[in-house]
Structure 1
């Protein structure tokens, strides 16, 4: 099995190490210092579960150098801000695809497959729900820091997820549970509820997830965000795992946030590094669907605008 990874961050390197450990041949598209580090050191997976180290992993710094008619899967694990460019580049370099090559998107947010569906048929484009915590302490290392539930693979276009079983089994055999599901939308919205409520607000206030639950003012903001997202889910024809906002809040405040009390969000990390965040794939997507369906998403808009205002200073 030949796989091309685009996006050599913590998630990408972690997933790549997982499938290499089970016999897959993985090539990585990377540039700059990341490409240099991987060429020199290979890649490693550390932290929770089995540790792996692999040398001589092929790295390509130009699409023109990538082998033609070669890859069975393309894993997208970049920041969502790169999706438009990556989708365009893949379209312009279709010769690297086999006839039935599948794209699997390992990213935060909702609707990231839209960028790729502009160019490729729905039978080729799949998504993943990843809530396992990966960090990148060095450019060639992925550290697994948190595990709560399996990685899930599926299709927002209702394609049969069973065709991804071989990938799920490889990741599971590497030590990180992974499953396929025909309800990936429910799980992605569950992650959206969590991320949209916590990520931007924690970044704006420079606090951990847990601190947000100790302040009546931030609790009110998060509750309004949750209410708006439930309204958007219903109006957009999607579903999630809870019948009501109150049902979700019970789990959110009793388990989900306490389990990650000391965690700083990826949005917070991006702002600290003064790089663009993934807010457009998070609260930005809620706003897009809300406006499309005439739903009040004013709290999400305020949070979104505050993040954009901070980004504007970079």
Structure 2
């Protein structure tokens, strides 16, 4: 395919997941990718990525079509992007918001926005900001992280489920067609499993069985999923939390299979002592994306009268952890913390 006929894609977030998304899109030959980097920009612009991938093998010095250190603005003779793919963490405690971040690159009524991010109801701010744009949901089941700037370790195969979020300002037929088109582009390289779904939120609820339980518990304890299983804490902590997510999903119209809890418990191979993404962020001193992963399903369940005592405790402990992380990042002393407490401000 000629360069001018390739899909012009902006991928925002060049960490573990976003980099593999960019690799896969370019591998298919259907897209030219501009990748937005932050802390790793200098390293990658100089040396490229060093990637060890279960799907793509070892790639040394890899770069996409272009790397940039900020979201490009359209206009002034610069062509717009066909698709903007968001692979950043979705953290409500940080600024700018994702819709503010990508706004300069989105052509109203034209650009397709793809959210390859975790959590529930993440599309609502995008629908409000871009009422005439197609918004797609991408639920990724890959395991990939960046232990050092520019070093990508992709351990679990790339599986992506894509569907359309409902945006009242766009037709359902157009949104579903764009979702199927993206699946085709992403699958073109033959290196991944990418599937279309007519119901994007079902896949999100399914992933929350893991992401609202194992993920935050490991972050709170700074431990791995194998240790959770070895410590015999599954039956009194993890499984009850997973069943609460199932109950919340059912109350919201999604009846998840009774076996899903055990599948999620067994998902990570014991021998690798896997630390989920929220745990890795906490260990690095980064803020955690707990509101959309724990808070939103908790609120969605309670809205329908679902009792969720275990998830409530997990949520409150995540709030405490986030407070600690923010205090450390801002260099607050104990004296500073007491001043914050006395002022009644978070």
**TM-score where L is the length of structure 1:** 0.86
Indicate conservation of the 8 Å contact 1:274/1:311, yes or no: no
1:241 Cα shift?
4.1
Equivalent residue for 1:28, pick from 32, 35, 41:
35
1:64 Cα shift?
4.3
1:202 Cα shift?
1.7
Q: For each residue in 1:23-69, what CA deviation from the matched residue of structure 2 results, as whole angstroms up to 9, or x when unmatched?
A: 312112333x3222232233454321224523662414254488744
Moved over 4 A (4+): 62-69, 257-261
Instruction: From the superposition, tell whether residues 235 and 102 of structure 1 become closer, same or farther in structure 2 (CA, over 3 Å).
Output: same
- Matched residue, 2:209: 193
> Matches of residues 37-186 of structure 1 in structure 2 within 5 Å?
37-43=43-49, 45-51=51-57, 52=59, 53-54=62-63, 57-61=66-70, 63-64=72-73, 68-81=78-91, 85-91=97-103, 93=104, 96-97=106-107, 99-121=109-131, 124-147=134-157, 150-157=159-166, 159=172, 160-174=175-189, 175-186=191-202
Indicate conservation of the 8 Å contact 1:39/1:57, yes or no: no
Q: For each residue in 1:189-219, what CA deviation from the matched residue of structure 2 results, as whole angstroms up to 9, or x when unmatched?
A: 1111012221111222232212222344442
Q: Secondary structure at the match of 2:130?
A: coil
User: What residue ranges of structure 1 are gaps of 5+ in the alignment?
Assistant: none
Identify the range of structure 1 (34-43 vs 174-183) with the bigger mean alpha-carbon deviation. 34-43
Counterpart-to-counterpart distance in 2, 1:234 and 1:89: 34
CA RMSD in angstroms, aligned pairs only? 2.7
- Report the number of matched residues: 305
1:146 Cα shift?
0.9
Which of the pair has more CA radius of gyration? 2
**TM-score where L is the length of structure 2:** 0.78
User: What residue ranges of structure 2 are gaps of 5+ in the alignment?
Assistant: 1-6, 326-346
Q: Secondary structure at the match of 1:4?
A: strand
